[in-house]
Amino acid sequence: MTMDRVDKNFRKRKYTEDFLQYGFTSIITAGIEKPQCVICCEVLSAESMKPNKLKRHFDSKHPSFAGKDINYFRSKADGLKKSRFDTGGQYHKHNIAAVEASYLVAHRITRAMKPHTIAEDLLLPAAKDIVRVMIGNEYVQKLNAISLSNDTVRRRIEDMSADILDQVIQEIKSAPLPIFSIQLDESTDVANCAQLLVYARYI
């Protein structure tokens, strides 16, 4: 399959009103339309704009809402859209906290050198169990807003890596003495892919 065909198929994935039956509305981030759950507010990837993937999320995370009328989800979607404009509201603060928590988990996974899937398969379910037992079942719902899928964890790690690189470059550029040394070391990993390490020492 050519890249042109892949891009064409990707662009065809648009939100439709039919997705409300699975509890999903849409949100545009960085110019890309993505599905957002009106129950837990989780934003899925643009690639998840498919009935089977939305239904999988609904069936696995919100089975208790299976009997709800579509008007119920429409009302939830309207309320969610209104809350997006309230930057000082509870939803905005909760969403920021959920994103921060996602980055913190990704950071711990990286330091422990664990697979990205451990977040969704083990850490989040364990966190829900702890909250349910120690605090109460009504607080478990808040954890559903934390996106910890394999792709999300990967993006979080890439974001943090890019931020670290940018900080190092800025520190080198702003150093009082423009004196630094660079040491390079190249090797190959078990997959025979080249790996280049760069050490920069500066004052």
Over residues 40-98, the pLDDT tens digits come to 888 888 888 999 999 999 999 898 898 899 999 999 998 887 766 555 555 556 677 88
Q: Is the pLDDT of residue 3 over 50?
A: no
Rounded distance between C-alpha atoms, residue 123 and residue 113, angstroms: 14
CB 10 within 8 A of CB 32: no
- Residue 30 confidence (pLDDT): 62
The percentage of residues in the chain with a pLDDT greater than 90, rounded to a whole number, is: 35
Instruction: Give residue 36's region: left, alpha or beta (phi > 0; psi -120 to 50).
Output: beta
- Residue 122 confidence (pLDDT): 96
| Mean pLDDT, range 155-183, rounded to an integer | 83
- Residue 12 confidence (pLDDT): 55
Q: Is the pLDDT of residue 199 over 90?
A: no
- Residue 119 confidence (pLDDT): 94
Query: pLDDT averaged over the chain?
Result: 84
Over residues 121-144, the pLDDT tens digits come to 999 999 999 999 999 888 888 888
Q: How far apart are the first and last CA of the chain?
A: 51
Structure tokens given for 22: 């699975």
CB 87 within 8 A of CB 53: no
Rounded distance between C-alpha atoms, residue 112 and residue 148, angstroms: 16
| Mean pLDDT, range 151-171, rounded to an integer | 88
- Residue 141 confidence (pLDDT): 82
Residue indicated by tokens 């119920």: 72
